[in-house]
Amino acid sequence: MAGDLAGSVVRLAYFAAEQHSEQHSDRRNSLRRVGVGPLGPKLAFSRGREAPTIHGRVRQRVFPSVRKPFVNQQSPRSQPFSTVIAPMLSVRGGKKALDFYKLAFGATQAFCVESDTGEVVAQLSVSGAQFWIADEAPEHGNFSPESLGGGSVRMLLIVENPDASFEQAIAAGAKEIWPVGEQYGWRVGRIVDPFGHHWEIGKPLK
């Protein structure tokens, strides 16, 4: 029943559109027939570009509120998943480490959770390069370099201006291991932060 009613409305509106078209003969002369659609002839401008069909015009007049659903092309489901390897540095004194990395490298805090006893796990970002820090947990086998007397991993921070970043880290409390210089096609220097982690700060030379 609903389908028959909608069909009748469309046919009546189509008839009205045809009557209106006949009253404007000058405009009709600039158009030419290019075929037959489901409800009537398709019209196109004389230059050959196809114009909207009468069927389409009727639908716009009779059902103006009907719109095609919006499809978000940036939907998270449409984005490919990226695999990421992010270091997590074990430190003694997580809150102090947070403050140091923000001051030394201009890091921003993306995530942080704190336990009832004050230990933290935090995600930091330096111009989009992410790393994590967490208070050491010897009971889980996570030791800071201070507890071990050294570390087995060095961090490599690649920046546009190694000299400026190096000096900024030194001013924040890091210690120089060797100064910034050119070697093996890189301009690079090395520091150790107050929590025992070694950082090589540099960039490849062009």
Asked whether residue 26 is domain-assigned, the answer is yes
Whole-number pLDDT of residue 11: 52
Please report, for the domain that includes residue 166, its CATH number: 3.10.180.10
Pairing of strands 186-192, 175-183: antiparallel
Report yes or no on 113 lying in a domain: yes
Instruction: Please give the pLDDT value at position 67.
Output: 52
The segments of the chain whose pLDDT lies below 70 read 1-77
CB contact burial 74-101 (16+ within 10 A = b; e otherwise): eeeeeeeeeeeeeeebbbbbbeebbebb
Q: Are residues 42 and 99 in the same domain?
A: no
> In this predicted structure, what is the pLDDT of residue 72?
54
Verify that 27 and 104 share a domain, yes or no.
no
Q: How many domains are there within the chain?
A: 2
**Is residue 34 located within the same domain as residue 119?**
no
Check residue 206 and give its pLDDT.
Answer: 86
What SS3 string covers 22-59? HCCHHHHHCEEEEEECCCCEEEEECCCCECCCHHHHHH
Domain presence at residue 47: yes
Q: Which domain holds residue 130?
A: 88-204
In a domain, 176, yes or no: yes
In a domain, 74, yes or no: no
Rounded to two decimals, the pTM is 0.63
Q: Are residues 120 and 194 in the same domain?
A: yes
Residue 68 lies in a domain: no
